[in-house]
Every structure is written in structure tokens, then in C-alpha cells.
Amino acid sequence: MSADGSLGSGIAEWIREYADSSGISTLVVGVSGGVDSAVTSTLCAMTGIRTLALNLPINQDSDQFDLARAHISWLESGWDNVEGGLIDISSTFEKFANDTMSGFSVTDLALANAKARLRMTTLYTVSASNNGIVVGTGNKVEDFGVGFYTKYGDGGVDISPIADLMKSEVYELAREFGILDEILNSPPTDGLWEDGRTDENQIGATYEELEWAMENYPDKGNEGWTQRQSEVMEIFTKLNAQNSHKMKPIPIYKNS
């Protein structure tokens, strides 16, 4: 599927139909400053349904915070149904990390994932208070390729409008919508690390490379592949297997 002129309106209509059929009056979406949340929140705005676009910093890098704030302002200037909001969860996270978990051995990765789960809790609290649903911002590569998201964090959502779009298709929609150049040109990051590491730093491959791997997986043959393509396929295969528990239904014991 390519992002043509009808794709954005089609997704927005799908969101609106789902909300209408479910008796939902509010769409709640977290805005991170990245292209995925920018496109998702814009799609929500296009529905005409009340949209709460929330900036949820947790000791956030100033660049990411500013990008999120700028996008929310852009949304508010273009759609009357959008309401921006800022909920700083930094002190809550610090209390959790320093006091609640005191005495336990906690890894940096576990604390990074805790940030995503605190954001999820915040989004659902707002959603439940406004007859709303939480709208997911994950793309196809993240959600169904390498599982690059936090289970019950940014993976905890009610609907996923862009989860069948490759990252390149998300960028196509972003350009079509006129998303801010600063967001388009910013390296993708999950914003969970204080050192500002990017998605590529963490994964070891670009989204363009991962798309290639996803389209060729599970082809095990490497005839005609470059050395880098073989490396990327190895990265993709490892992450796909390692994170399969996120992408499959929860195992249930069958009492037969």
C-alpha cells in the first residue's frame, strides 16, 4: 500500500467510524515529538472528533519536548476539535524509581520501560475521564516486525491507525499533511533514555533497512545480498524472535 491522497482520509474515516460505533466522544493521543505520533494525532484531528493531544514529558530532552509542543500548537491552529495538554510526569517517575523501587535491583532498561507504562497509565486515566479511547502511534515495522515498543506501555492502546503502514509510508503521510520539517528531519527516538539515544542506536539498523528485511523475511537465502543486508536480516530475525511475545496473543492454558 502506498500513501496516496486518499490514504489519510481513509484512515481518519476508519477512526471516526470506530469511535461512532463504540459511542466514543474523545480521542486521546500522546505526542512525543516524533513523526509517528505527529501523523497519528493529525489523523485524529481530521476526524472532527474531540482530540486530546498530550505532551507527557519525563525528564525529557529539551529538543523532543519542544517538538511535541510545536506540533500540538500546529494542530490547535488548524483544527478546532483539538485540545493540547501538558502533563509532566517527571516527579512521579522519580518517586517511583527512587523510593518505591528502593532496595530492589532494577535495571536501566526496566526503568526506561516504566516511563512508557506511566505514560500509558496517564493516557488511560484521561481517556476514562472523557469517554475516550487511547489511540496508538506504532507503525508496522515496530509493532509487527521487530517489536520495538514497551509491552503495556506504548503498546497499550485501544486502536492502532498506522500499524499497517511502513515507516516510509508514515513519512509520506507526514509530508502530505504538512507536518513540521523539524519533526520530519529529527532522528526517530523512543525518548526513554536520558542520553538521547536514537532508535537506530538501539536497534542497530535504520527503518529503511528494517523495511527491506521485513519484506524479505523469512527468506534465509542470502544469494545476491550485500554483507550489510545479511547483517540487517540477522538483526531483524533476532529481534522478531526475541520480541515475539509482544506480537502474539497472551498464552492461555486450555482446560479441556
66: in domain: yes
241: in domain: no
Model confidence at 103, in pLDDT bands (50, 70, 90)? confident
Helix (H) or strand (E) holding 227: helix 227-242
Average pLDDT score, the chain:
94
Position 3 scores a pLDDT of 43
Model confidence at 5, in pLDDT bands (50, 70, 90)? low
Range of the domain at 153: 7-199
pLDDT, tens digit (0-9, with 9 covering 90-100), for 122-159: 999 999 999 999 999 999 999 999 999 999 999 999 99
18: in domain: yes
137 and 154 Cβ atoms separated by less than 8 Å:
yes
Q: Is 51 exposed, middle or buried (0-12, 13-18, 19+ CB in 10 A)?
A: buried
- Looking at residue 51, what DSSP letter applies? E
The answer to whether residue 4 scores a pLDDT higher than 70 is no
Q: What angle do CA 204, 205, 211 make, to 5 degrees?
A: 145
38: in domain: yes
Angstrom CA distances, 135 to 45, 108, 116, 170, 205, stand at 12, 27, 14, 16, 27
Position 252 scores a pLDDT of 95
Position 100 scores a pLDDT of 87
216: in domain: no
71: in domain: yes
24: in domain: yes
Report how far residue 52's alpha carbon sits from residue 132's, in angstroms, rounded to the nearest whole number: 9
Angle at which helices 167-177 and 35-46 cross, to 10°: 50
| CATH code of the domain in which 128 resides | 3.40.50.620
Q: How many domains does the chain have?
A: 1
Model confidence at 232, in pLDDT bands (50, 70, 90)? very high
Model confidence at 224, in pLDDT bands (50, 70, 90)? confident
27: in domain: yes
